[in-house]
Amino acid sequence: MVQFILHVIIRVLLAGIFVYGGWGAMTKPGGRPQKVAAAHIPFAKLAVILNGGLMVVAGLLLAIGFFPRVAAAALVVSMIPTTLVGHPFWHETSGSARDQQAIQFLKNLGLIGGLLLVAVATV
């Protein structure tokens, strides 16, 4: 029972960033479409909005525990291009900008790790 409760807490805590960030990407794409277009991804604004929508839906499913493994796997698939396109620290020339992008890149890798744990969890 304790393990089940911990899994619920973990899923809810992990889901928050995806619901919040996905909503922001959908409603206020800002400079995201320019980064996506620079990566030669077609229909950049639509791609950003759809990716944000996927994050919101999968994040909510993860939080409520409805197909949490599938939701976590979908978020992993979404996070790979999000991380590579959104935080290419290797392109930054300024030390502080490079550091900020590297931190965000590594944060996303940590989130991917957490999602992978949920995706393979047995509870």
> Between 68-86 and 44-64, two packed helices, what is the crossing angle to 10 degrees?
140
- As a whole-number percent, the residues of the chain with pLDDT over 70 amount to 98
Whole-angstrom Cα distance, residue 118 to residue 123?
Answer: 9
Q: What's the DSSP call for residue 66?
A: S
For residue 98, the enclosing domain spans 2-120
Work out the pLDDT band at 94, boundaries 50, 70, 90: confident
Total tally of structural domains belonging to the chain: 1
The number of helix segments (H) and strand segments (E) in the chain equals 5, 0
Q: What is the pLDDT of residues 12-69, one digit of tens each?
A: 999 999 999 999 999 999 999 999 999 999 999 999 999 999 999 999 999 999 999 9
- What would the mean pLDDT of 78-102 be, rounded to a whole number? 93
Q: Mean of the per-residue pLDDT values for the chain?
A: 94
